[in-house]
Structure 1
Amino acid sequence: MATLLAHLLAIISIKHFKTSQILLILASALQTILCGQVILSDTGWIFNAQNACLVVSWLSNIIVLISGFRLLVLRLLIHLIAITVLCWIYYLPITSIAHPYEWALDIHILFSIVAYSLLFVSSIVAVDLGYQIHKMKKNVFISQSMTINSLLKNEEKLFKLILFGWLFLTGALLTGIMFVNGFLAQGIGHKVLFSFLAWVLFAILIVGRLTKGWRGKTAIRLNLIAMSLLMLGFIGSYIVLDYLI
């Protein structure tokens, strides 16, 4: 409830950047404690759809703080997503069995979570920048701070997120193949397939950016398509395991 309240207060003060930033730091600190309580146990990881969303939301907060984004839509969405996940966990809790700690599996999980979080934030940034570009073309300024220079700086940050996210996704796929038994088996084969397709699309986007200077709508659309595939494989797999099987 304290974490939820901090996120709500951050939304209320969203137009006052410093106040909202302090509340985001507080919410992230509280969410750190919450992640430890619900995910870690004496016997191993407790990982399900809810916990996966919770830790991605938490890391997204940290990434936004470190990156120094001032984008209003981005900051609003990460708070709303956190609140949604917190309500989901509180009102519809899922009972899951803990998976024993194994260094190889732990490395794979670490790479996967960091990759999904970085690329998830990049997709929200892409949506925000797409909205700004649309408004700029109509000569409608969302705020005084929205300028071509700020747009280009945020776009540069976006591609850094994509690059680092893609590198961690590469690590997740490689560690999965090397360390996870049955990684390519039928049970999670669709998850691997969607992740690999997303990896290819992000790779194409990075190459296009470096060689042809892709930006704007082309980069945003490709980013969102790749992230949709990644989320379908990642969150979709957990939802199927938790609710349908």
Structure 2
Amino acid sequence: MDIVLYALTALLYGGLAVIGWRAHGGAGAPSMRACVPPGPAGPRPPSSPSASRATRALLFVALAVHGLLLHLTIFPHDAMVFGFAFALSAMFWLGACIYWIESFFFPLEGLGLLVLPLACVASLMPLAFGGVHVLSYAAAPLFKLHFIIANVAYGLFAIAALHAVLMLFAERRLHRLRSAMESQGGGWIAGWLDTLPPLLTLEKLLFRLIGAGFVLLTLTLISGVLFSEQLLGRPLTFDHKTVFAVLSWVMFGALLTGRQVSGWRGRAALRWVLVSFVALLLAYVGSRFVFEVLLHRPVV
């Protein structure tokens, strides 16, 4: 059953990614782009509403299958299996869910060209890297609450990081490479960036995601302290995982404060988002990768 779900998940994500990149290649052709006058964020290639509805419907099916796969593989019977590969799979499943919701309100086809291939690869990673069995407290309500909040926070920050990557590309095109690209007919990168909303819209979306993620990350840290005290009988220890989690919380908090007080924006803010996300990755995914894959020491 699991292998069928793995195959179906990868097929759906991969198929949607191929369709998206092929459509992007056609939409970004110089002959079509020449017919559309450029705007502040570049031309917008026409899209078919029926094609968008079909793509969203297929993505919904992919998300449903991937979600079922995660539930069956992470919670087999009354146990729990988890590891860095499962964390990445869950992170990009949640990121794809957020992208699916966003796509109803904003033209984010360019973001989908990043999200779908990453979700496809992440969904298959548990096949190569098995997790560790967590039996002692997997059924505890407080642990489940901590687990769900933490993974939703990861998903929000993952999609925010992809937003930041797209915005860095778009800013570089506008400020450094615009004349070169236009003289060469645009190229596939210009065509890809032209599918995005204006930078100001992306910036608003980015900080909304970061704000929501910061609230959930705060709840994750609080529930982690309560979980450690109640179930493990000891206060939260400042190991590598906790240090990086707190560090990322401080960095995202500083970014939001700087945005509110001093109006932080632009490349410096976007790079700060990416560095903060890397710190968050090191807090759990990175540490588990080191222990499970490099050191062959399963950790709970």
TM-score (structure 1 length as normaliser): 0.90
Query: In structure 2, how many angstroms separate the alpha carbons of the residues matched to 1:62 and 1:74?
Result: 13
1:95 deviates by: 5.2
1:233 deviates by: 1.2
Query: In structure 2, how many angstroms separate the alpha carbons of the residues matched to 1:88 and 1:195?
Result: 23
- SS where residue 214 of structure 1 aligns? coil
Over the matched positions of the two proteins, sequence identity in percent amounts to 27
> Between Structure 1 and Structure 2, whose CA radius of gyration is higher?
2
Query: In structure 2, how many angstroms separate the alpha carbons of the residues matched to 1:89 and 1:131?
Result: 31
Query: In structure 2, how many angstroms separate the alpha carbons of the residues matched to 1:43 and 1:21?
Result: 34
- After superposition, the Cα gap between the structure-2 partners of 1:145 and 1:237, relative to the gap in structure 1 and judged at 3 Å, is closer
Q: What is aligned with 1:98? A: 134
Does structure 1 conserve the Cα–Cα contact (< 8 Å) formed by 2:214 and 2:253?
Answer: yes
1:38-187 equivalent positions in 2, closer than 5 A: 38-68=73-103, 70-90=107-127, 92-94=128-130, 96-99=132-135, 100-137=138-175, 138-139=177-178, 140=181, 142-143=190-191, 146=194, 150-180=198-228, 181=232, 182=234, 184-185=236-237
Looking at both structures, which has the greater relative contact order when contacts are Cα pairs under 8 Å and sequence separation is at least 6?
Answer: 2
Q: What is aligned with 2:262? A: 212
For 1:102, give the aligned amino acid. Answer: A
1:32 deviates by: 1.1
- SS where residue 13 of structure 1 aligns? helix
For 1:162, give the aligned amino acid. Answer: I
Superposed CA deviations along residues 101-155 of structure 1, whole A, max 9, x for unmatched, are 1111111111111111101110011000110111112335734984997221111
Query: In structure 2, how many angstroms separate the alpha carbons of the residues matched to 1:67 and 1:44?
Result: 34
- After superposition, the Cα gap between the structure-2 partners of 1:95 and 1:206, relative to the gap in structure 1 and judged at 3 Å, is closer
CA RMSD, 1 decimal: 2.3
Which ranges in structure 1 are unaligned for 5 or more consecutive residues?
Answer: none
- Residue 59 of structure 2 is aligned to residue 24 of structure 1: yes
Length, aligned pairs only: 242
Q: What is aligned with 1:7? A: 13
- After the TM superposition, list the runs of 4 or more consecutive aligned residues in structure 1 that deviate by more than 6 angstroms: none
Does structure 1 conserve the Cα–Cα contact (< 8 Å) formed by 2:149 and 2:216?
Answer: yes
Query: In structure 1, how many angstroms separate the alpha carbons of the residues matched to 2:95 and 2:192?
Result: 26
Query: In structure 1, how many angstroms separate the alpha carbons of the residues matched to 2:212 and 2:129?
Result: 33
